[in-house]
């Protein structure tokens, strides 16, 4: 599953020895798994904080606990502590962490969902917005709903046509149209308020 170099193990041992608690280990988990913003989080963890679904990897002088839901994203992965002329850093390489594009046999819904989650949603989230797939209707029409800062935003039509629809149709050419079914009159905290009048 996870290959931890001797240098990384020695680095973790140094950090743990500074904490003064023999019961501590290191817990690793993936946040935003399967998306471009996926990353690993490491933290100190005592055995009393374990939930029971972790995978335990016995290392020299400590245990590494892998969050159960994160395990599939970290198989395989490697952790190394590398020293360069400018300093040292811990490197985690997990090739599957950002997810894998659906294969040739994947259905339209699965492919649309992947593009939404991996490319479009992170950009919309940077403006405090959310986007979700409602359905793929007859005729390959993608129906979406916006939330957060996009709900009621005065620029949502531009986002839909020049961003979301353009990206979806470039990645999945059989899409014929992209529609927004959000009731934008009810948006409470839009990123751009609509002009009065």
Per-residue pLDDT band at 117 (split at 50, 70, 90) = confident
Q: CATH 2.60.300.12: which residues of the chain? A: 2-93
Min mean pLDDT across 30-44, 134-148, 153-167 is at 30-44
| % of the chain exceeding 90 in pLDDT | 70
Angstrom CA distances, 109 to 77, 112, 113, 172, stand at 29, 5, 6, 11
Min mean pLDDT across 79-93, 112-126, 157-171 is at 112-126
Quick check: 83 pLDDT over 90? Answer: no
Per-residue pLDDT band at 69 (split at 50, 70, 90) = very high
Our measurement of the distance from residue 9's CA atom to the centroid of its chain's CA atoms, rounded to an integer in Å, reads 26
User: How many other C-beta atoms lie within 10 A of the C-beta of residue 171?
Assistant: 16
- State the pLDDT at residue 169: 96
In this predicted model, what pLDDT tens digit does every residue of 14-23 receive, in sequence order?
A: 999 999 899 9
Tell me which architecture the domain covering 2-93 has in CATH: Sandwich (2.60)
Mean pLDDT of all residues in the chain?
91
108-186: CATH class: alpha beta
Min mean pLDDT across 110-114, 115-119, 134-138, 188-192 is at 188-192
In this predicted model, what pLDDT tens digit does every residue of 119-145 receive, in sequence order?
A: 898 889 888 899 999 999 999 999 999
| % of the chain exceeding 70 in pLDDT | 98
Q: Look up residue 102 and give its DSSP letter.
A: -
Q: What is the pTM of this model?
A: 0.59
What is the spatial distance between Cα 5 and Cα 85, in angstroms, rounded to a whole number?
Answer: 20
| 87-93: strand order across its sheet | 2-4, 77-84, 87-93
* Segment 82-108 mean pLDDT: 87
For residue 77, the cross-strand partners are 2
- State the pLDDT at residue 134: 96
Strands (E) across 138-192 are located at: 141-148, 177-180
Q: CATH 3.30.300.130: which residues of the chain? A: 108-186
């Amino acid at each position: 599953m996870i290959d931890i170099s001797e240098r990384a193990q020695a680095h973790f041992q140094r950090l743990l020895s500074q904490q003064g608690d023999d019961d501590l280990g290191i817990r690793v988990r993936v946040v935003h798994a399967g998306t471009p913003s996926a990353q690993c989080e490491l933290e100190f963890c005592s055995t009393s904080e374990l939930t029971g679904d972790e995978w335990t990897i016995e290392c020299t002088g400590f245990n590494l606990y892998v969050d159960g839901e994160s395990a599939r994203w970290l198989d395989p992965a490697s952790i190394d502590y590398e020293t360069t002329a400018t300093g040292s850093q811990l490197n985690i390489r997990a090739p599957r962490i950002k997810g894998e594009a659906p294969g040739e046999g994947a259905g339209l819904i699965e492919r649309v969902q992947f593009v939404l989650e991996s490319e479009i949603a992170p950009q919309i989230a940077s403006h405090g917005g959310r986007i979700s797939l409602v359905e793929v209707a007859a005729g390959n029409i993608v129906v979406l709903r916006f939330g957060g800062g996009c709900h009621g935003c005065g620029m949502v039509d531009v986002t839909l046509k020049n961003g979301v629809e353009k990206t979806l149709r470039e990645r999945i050419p059989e899409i014929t149209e992209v529609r927004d079914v959000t009731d934008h009159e009810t948006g409470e905290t839009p990123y751009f308020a609509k002009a009065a009048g």
